[in-house]
Amino acid sequence: MRILIVEDEPDLLRSIAQALREEGYAVDAAPDGEDGFYKAENYDYDAIVLDVMLPKMDGWEILKRLRKIKKTPVLMLTARDQTRDRVKGLDTGADDYVVKPFDLSELFARLRALIRRSANKTTNVIEIGEIKIDTALRNVFLQEKSVELTAREYALVEFLALHRGEVVTRTLLYEHLFDENESSLSNLLDVHVSNVRKKLGAEFIVTRRGHGYCIE
């Protein structure tokens, strides 16, 4: 899962990004409106955390322009909690709204819900044969037994599971599992896939040669 954070307060930006990375997300950061809109326009993020008060281009403007071209889930982050601000945010096309100061756990839960909804899933649990993925706990169960996965491996499983039945290209996987700061070593993805197969069974992830990977 790759997430963009647009926030002009550097300390806040840094800590949210760090916390999200530790949760296993790939995180891109933008310190102002122009940079944020540029990134949102050019990458397909799984979700965007967008501050309202931004230099150069404010959150409303980014949202308005983005909605003309993309349906990326957007979570607005603002210090204004008046009803009319919330209504304006939701009407402009925001998918959710978090008021500062917030708890990180709440922000994460809302992000998970946003991502789940955008994949048309209504529950936290995805069941594929004997394998059960709990997206709230970020845990995978094989025959009711918890399987230890690294954050990146989990992200790979979750992304493929959310796109079950579709062939996901390597490029798309790279875009959603690694952020802008990581060098995309092409065999890194193969390593993760092979590790997941070892833990969850060789047949769990199918390779479509020349196309990509798929969970059937």
Partner 1 sequence: MNIFKSIKWRLQLWYGLILVVVLAGFGFTAYQLERGRLFGRIDDELHRRVEVLKSALHRPPPRRPEGDEPPFDPPPPGQFSDEGPPGQNPRPPREFHLPPEAAHFFDPSDPNSFYFIIQRGGKEIARSTNQPDKIVLIPIWDLMNSANTPPPRLPNSSKPSYVANFFEKNVQAAETLPSGEIIWVGCSIAPELNELRLTSLKLAAFGAIILIFGLAGGWWIVSRSLRPIVAISSAAVKISAGDLSQRINIAEAESELGQLAAVLNSTFARLEAAFAQQQQFTSDAAHELRTPVSVMLTQAQTALNRDRTASEYRETVEACQRAAQRMRRLIESLLALARLDAGQEVLKRLRFDFLKTVSECAELVKPIAEERGVKIFTRLESVGITGDSERLAQVVTNLLTNAVHYNQPDGEVCVKLESQNGMALLTVSDTGQGIAAEDWPRVFERFYRADKSRSTGGNGLGLAISKAVVEAHGGTIEVRSEENVGTTFTVRLPLA
Q: Kindly list the residues in this chain that would bind partner 1 in the complex (CB under 8 A).
A: 8-9, 11-12, 14-16, 18-19, 22, 32, 53-56, 58, 79-80, 82, 99-105
Minimum distance, C-beta of residue 77 to partner 1, in the bound complex (Å): 8
Q: Taking Cα atoms as reference points, which of 214, 207, 204 lies closest to residue 128?
A: 204
Helices (H), 68-169: 83-92, 104-118, 151-162
Q: Is 75 exposed, middle or buried (0-12, 13-18, 19+ CB in 10 A)?
A: buried
CB count, 10 Å around CB of 30?
23
Cβ closest to partner 1, residue 155 vs residue 193: 155
Q: What does the block give as tokens for 38?
A: 């540029």
Minimum distance, C-beta of residue 69 to partner 1, in the bound complex (Å): 24
Cβ closest to partner 1, residue 4 vs residue 215: 4
Minimum distance, C-beta of residue 92 to partner 1, in the bound complex (Å): 17
Minimum distance, C-beta of residue 163 to partner 1, in the bound complex (Å): 29
Cβ closest to partner 1, residue 49 vs residue 126: 49
CB count, 10 Å around CB of 96?
19
Cβ closest to partner 1, residue 110 vs residue 212: 110
Q: What does the block give as tokens for 163?
A: 């796109």
